[in-house]
């Protein structure tokens, strides 16, 4: 927000374009892409950290702040009652509440196996959907905001996190490395769904997802290697 809001005013962006950038560039895909990438590079022992970041940082913030941003930037009249209703009926928010409320209960093996099987399909399906949806004809008139949004998401966001940990003198710490790596993830699919649902430049949002996910497979690994050399 600190960078995107002043930049949007300087470039004369509409509120819809600003909302699309705040949502899609502001939230990283810490689950579908982030979890398998962290597991591959850092090891399965960090899966718990990734899930914690995903639930209590990404999804919880998106469920509250993200919906408020989408409502404020859309053409709909901003009412706190409307925002509150959308928050409490947002499926990921409900899923978090249900998971926390039932986490202490014993689950049968068949249910655990079913959930694990379903979870294993999420990343391939997300990547396949992004690939099949790529339409370069949407680039006309949207190249500048596309570069701006993905530049922030894939480069500036992890760079800012890296500088933060360098200032603390702990950029080499394994937890810090995973956190920086997570900041280099592509735009979040759920944030794009919210943006499209509120009619915040759907074509731009689709481009950021379609190009951002495959591009991150190339742009994210250098951040992991860089933190390993500090």
pTM, full prediction: 0.78
Give how far the C-alpha of residue 103 lies from the chain's centroid of Cα atoms, to the nearest Å.
Answer: 24
Per-residue pLDDT of the chain (230 residues; tens, 9 = 90+): 667 788 788 888 889 999 999 999 999 988 778 888 898 898 888 888 787 777 766 777 887 888 888 888 886 666 667 667 766 776 666 776 777 777 777 778 887 777 777 766 666 666 665 555 556 667 677 888 999 999 999 999 999 999 999 999 888 888 999 999 999 999 988 888 888 888 898 889 888 988 898 899 999 999 999 988 87
Q: Residue holding tokens 């360098």? A: 166
Look at residues 199, 206, 66, 222 and name the one whose alpha carbon lies nearest to residue 150: 206
What distance in Å separates the CA atoms of residue 197 and residue 152, rounded to the nearest whole number? 23
Token representation of residue 166: 């360098």
What distance in Å separates the CA atoms of residue 60 and residue 53, rounded to the nearest whole number? 10
Domain ranges of the chain: 4-103+124-229
Report which DSSP code applies to 12.
T
Token representation of residue 22: 């705040």
Token representation of residue 80: 């706190």
């Amino acid at each position: 927000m600190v960078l995107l809001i002043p930049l949007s005013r300087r470039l004369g962006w509409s509120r819809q374009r600003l909302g699309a950038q705040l949502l899609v560039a502001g939230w990283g895909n810490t689950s579908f892409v982030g979890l398998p990438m962290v597991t591959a590079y850092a090891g399965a022992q960090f899966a718990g950290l990734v899930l914690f970041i995903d639930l209590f940082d990404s999804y919880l913030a998106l469920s509250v702040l993200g919906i408020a941003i989408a409502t404020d930037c859309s053409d709909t009249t901003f009412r706190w009652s409307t925002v509150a209703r959308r928050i409490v009926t947002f499926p990921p928010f409900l899923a978090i509440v249900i998971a926390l409320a039932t986490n202490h209960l014993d689950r049968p093996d068949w249910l655990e196996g079913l959930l694990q099987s379903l979870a294993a399909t999420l990343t391939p399906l997300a990547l396949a959907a992004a690939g099949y949806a790529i339409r370069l004809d949407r680039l006309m008139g949207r190249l500048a905001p596309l570069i701006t949004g993905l530049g922030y998401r894939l480069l500036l966001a992890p760079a800012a996190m890296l500088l933060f940990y360098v200032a603390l003198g702990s950029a080499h710490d394994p937890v810090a490395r995973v956190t920086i790596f997570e900041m280099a993830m592509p735009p979040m699919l759920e944030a794009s769904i919210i943006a499209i649902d509120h009619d915040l430049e759907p074509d731009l949002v689709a481009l950021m997802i379609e190009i951002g996910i495959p591009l991150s497979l190339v742009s994210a690994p250098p951040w992991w290697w860089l933190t390993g050399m500090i």
